[in-house]
Amino acid sequence: MKMTGEEVIAAPRQAVWDALNDPEVLKQSITGCEEVKKKSDTEFEAKVTAKVGPVKASFVGDVKLSKLNPPRSYVISGEGKGGVAGFAKGGATIRLSDTGDAATKLSYDVEAQVGGKLAQIGSRLIDSTAKKMAADFFKKFNKIVSQNAESTVMTEKTPAKKTSAKKPAAKAAKTAAKSTAAKSTAKAAAKPAAKAAKATAKAATKSKPAVKAKPAAKASSKTAAKTSAAKTRTAAKPVAGARKSAASAAGVVETAAAKVASDSANIAKTATSEAASAVNSAASEANRQADEVKSSASDNIPPQVKSMSRMWTWVMLAAAAGLVLLWATGK
């Protein structure tokens, strides 16, 4: 894709050059631009959401400036990636020149390549979309730069207002006069008030002293003391009753605890004796069963076995006796 064009911007060439390198102006001029970051004097990073036909995607691109000749020309090169939508890369040559009427002519030559889904849309649709975006950019850019230039010119032409030193001096004199008059008025008003205060003080000193009220004060203090003592006694009675009830409650609790302890001990003794009797009865029962087993076993032995056992007993005794005799004779 190739595109060329010219735009006349109503601002000086230096102002146009500065605006082309201002991230905020570029962000306001590019349709769908979310942010423009200036990484250095020759590097920018931008994020733009654009729609080309049925494809709409957010492109993140890096732009580099080269062959700088301020404020006359430079070359832009960059690449934008839109994920599944594809990519776009290319460059442009920008030239600035004066028109002679305080305006600047901006000429550009653009060459770009697209890939991915963007390449499947068609060159005609891509060219028309690119031309529309360029027209929108220069329209907004021209408006912003021309307004900034007009405001700068108006600021330079407006002279600073001359400040007069006579008015502050006159105001200060008036203020001083007002304060002096106020002070004199205050003094004049204060004199009658001072005289009236002196007269009131004299009248107060000439008047008779008030009747002493010490006995009444003493009586009232004694009555108040008696009343407070009575109130204290009355309030102490419930407290004493509460203490007595608490003591009786404590005695009841101690008695109940002692009873519970004795009952527990009796229950433990009874359980122990019952367990011992059960063990004894079990042991006697076991001994009885053992005796029965022995008796039944002896009853079940045949007579031949009993006679053989007796014979073997006698043989063993005889052999033991013979051994004893041999041992004795050998000695």
Task: Note the pLDDT tens digit of each residue in 228-254.
Answer: 545 546 544 544 554 565 455 446 436
Q: Do 41 and 146 touch, CB atoms closer than 8 A? A: no
Cβ atoms of 122 and 15 closer than 8 Å:
no
CA nearest 22: which of 197, 145, 176? 145
pLDDT at 209 over 70: no
Please give the pLDDT value at position 278: 58
Domains and CATH numbers, the chain: 2-154 (3.30.530.20)
Q: Taking 60 as the threshold, does the pLDDT of residue 207 lie above it?
A: no
Is the distance from CB of 42 to CB of 68 less than 8 angstroms?
yes
**For residue 36, with 0-12 CB atoms within 10 Å meaning exposed, 13-18 middle and 19 or more buried, which class applies?**
buried
Residue 134, pLDDT above cutoff 50:
yes
Q: Cβ neighbours of residue 89 under 8 Å, at least 6 residues apart?
A: 78, 79, 80, 112, 113
- The more confident residue out of 196 and 58 is 58
123-129: long-range pairs with CB below 8 Å, 24+: 123/1, 125/52, 125/53, 126/1, 126/52, 127/1, 127/3, 129/50, 129/51, 129/52, 129/53
pLDDT of residue 239: 41
Kindly tell me if the per-residue pLDDT of 330 is higher than 80. Answer: no
Most confident residue range from 83-92, 154-163, 218-227: 83-92
pLDDT reading at 67 higher than 70: yes
β-pair type (87-98, 73-81): antiparallel
Quick one: pLDDT at residue 285?
76
Average pLDDT across the chain, whole number:
72
CA-nearest of 151, 69, 82, 86 to 121 is 86
- pLDDT above 70: percentage of residues in the chain: 56
Answer whether residue 216 shows pLDDT above 50: no
pLDDT value for 270: 59
Rounded to 5 degrees, what angle do the CA atoms 114, 135, 19 make?
95
Please, which pLDDT band fits residue 314 given cuts at 50, 70 and 90? confident
Query: Of residues 122 and 143, which shows the higher confidence score?
Result: 143
Closest CA to 66 of 50, 43, 85, 88: 43
Whether the bond into 54 is cis, omega within 30 of 0: no
